[in-house]
Amino acid sequence: MRELIKEIWSTSKRNKLRTSLTGFAVAWGIFMLIFLLGAGNGLINAQLQQSDRRLSTSMQVYGGYTSKAYRGLKEGRNIQLRTQDLDITNRAFSDNTQEVGALLSKYGVNITYGDNYLSAQDLSGVYPSDQRINKVELLAGRFINDIDMKERRKVIVLCEAQAKELTKDPRALIGRQVNVGNISFQVVGITKDDKQSRNQSACIPYHTLNAIYMGNAGWVGIIQFEIKNLVTEDQNDAFEKRYRATINTQHDADPADESAIYIWNRYMDNIQMAKGIRMIRVALWVIGIFTLLSGIVGVSNIMLITVKERTREFGIRKAIGAKPWSILKLIITESIIITSFFGYIGMVLGVAANEYMDATIGHEVIDTGLFQATMFVDPTVGLDVCFQATMLIVLAGTVAGLIPAVKAARVRPIEALRAD
């Protein structure tokens, strides 16, 4: 085996350019496959992180504007959701909904604590289910609960940024009183900042906000709930049409008018995103595999040239007693060594490129002014994929070298000696 390696090394040194070009094609194919998969995974992980910020099996319903005339009423009417809509959602759609709640907002309130104050803040009246549906994370204390709702308590949950404006230690506010306008509220919780949005709201019980600021007018800002027993796209589409028709009818709007109310179905969003992710993964693999094929074709061409150039040498070997297997083994071994060595180099460079990408743009946060987002999250590829890709090109390179090897092993000595 040692003599075989030395012979291959000697042949490679005599044909440096040919060997280098073959190696570059192999290394480049592996490198591009790993790099593309890493970049694709970074984009996909970033999207998954964004979507994971909200409960995937939830819906939010907003009022809109009618786009069709109906029963003598013109289009363009503003539809405001009411408590009756909330009751209908709870009662008529109980087979597919749970944790039905609402969100009502009051804008431009001032929050003060001692000598510190926050002006023009958003105040949200929420149900306890809001914590689960919007995946609110607590820094300290608790969230709004059912007792707060029932007794219409004057309790408030501040976000971390608001708490830091009022005192140096946000946790120290738990149990203290802050003034919202002229009304005193007890701080019961501090939530972690949602870095994806700059509009952080203070939360109080929905019924408390409705009673104090809306005079129990019966308006609902947003209806939100979890869905159940809706798995397929067809089931979700059918539910949305049935729900829209019911709510639209309550507001004298065309049952099929999609502009009268807006339904944000996060489950459907995730289904569509999953389809998009699958398409991206397939596209990346197709591009990567075709890049690998260029390296495989390069190895095959070089092996064919090698056999043609060494035909006379192989004829002499067979004339003095060399067996076909020894020639076959020489060519296949050369093909395996070239693809393995340069494939490993391409793999190492691909992993290094992904690690560099992870250390740089993988931690960059883009601030649009409305929200912050990370464009790449963990743009890397598992070592198992790296080794599988490398083994794939080694195997393909072996098969590519097998064809000219068989041809060389079958050549007759007299024909080989006549070759130029």
Does residue 226 surpass a pLDDT of 80? Answer: yes
Contacts 24+ apart (CB under 8 A), 126-131: 126/101, 126/203, 126/204, 126/205, 126/206, 127/99, 127/101, 127/102, 127/103, 127/206, 128/101, 129/99, 129/100, 129/101, 129/224, 129/225, 129/226, 130/101, 130/103, 130/203, 130/224
Q: Considering only 174-183, 316-325, 385-394, which range has the smallest mean pLDDT?
A: 316-325
Asked whether the beta carbons of 203 and 130 are under 8 A apart, the reply is yes
Q: Which of the pair, 321 or 185, is modelled with greater confidence? A: 185
Q: What is the pLDDT of residue 417?
A: 59
Q: What is the pLDDT of residue 2?
A: 66
Under DSSP, the state recorded for 193 is: P
State pLDDT tens for residues 194-205. 655 545 789 999
Q: What is the pLDDT of residue 178?
A: 94
SS3 readout for 319-360: HCCCCHHHHHHHHHHHHHHHHHHHHHHHHHHHHHHHHHHHHC
Does residue 126 surpass a pLDDT of 90? Answer: yes
What percent of the chain shows pLDDT beyond 90? Answer: 36
d(CA 100, CA 111): 29
Does residue 150 surpass a pLDDT of 90? Answer: yes
Q: Calculate mean pLDDT across residues 375-383.
A: 77
Is 325 exposed, middle or buried (CB count within 10 Å of its CB: 0-12, 13-18, 19+)?
Answer: exposed
Q: What is the pLDDT of residue 144?
A: 95
d(CA 319, CA 288): 45
Q: Which of the pair, 310 or 185, is modelled with greater confidence? A: 185
Q: How many helices (H) and strands (E) does the chain have?
A: 13, 12
Does residue 177 surpass a pLDDT of 60? Answer: yes
Confidence label for 5 from pLDDT (cuts 50, 70 and 90) = low
What percent of the chain shows pLDDT beyond 70? Answer: 85
* Residues 6 or more apart whose Cβ sits within 8 Å of residue 88: 246, 247, 250
Q: Which of the pair, 338 or 413, is modelled with greater confidence? A: 338
Q: What is the pLDDT of residue 207?
A: 93
Q: What is the pLDDT of residue 149?
A: 94
In this prediction the pTM is 0.70
d(CA 305, CA 302): 5
Does residue 372 surpass a pLDDT of 70? Answer: no
Confidence label for 408 from pLDDT (cuts 50, 70 and 90) = low
Q: What is the pLDDT of residue 152?
A: 94
Q: Considering only 134-143, 331-340, 343-352, which range has the smallest mean pLDDT?
A: 331-340
Confidence label for 81 from pLDDT (cuts 50, 70 and 90) = very high
Does residue 44 surpass a pLDDT of 70? Answer: yes
Q: Calculate mean pLDDT across residues 68-79.
A: 91
Q: What is the pLDDT of residue 1?
A: 60
In 10 A of CB 228, how many CB atoms?
Answer: 13
Q: Calculate mean pLDDT across residues 253-263.
A: 93
Instruction: Give the H/E segment covering residue 318.
Output: helix 311-319
The residue ranges of every structural domain in the chain are 2-52+270-418, 58-266
Does residue 356 surpass a pLDDT of 60? Answer: yes
| Phi and psi based region of residue 364 (left: phi greater than 0; alpha: psi -120 to 50; beta: remaining) | beta
Q: Calculate mean pLDDT across residues 393-405.
A: 73
Q: What is the pLDDT of residue 198?
A: 46
Q: What is the pLDDT of residue 204?
A: 95
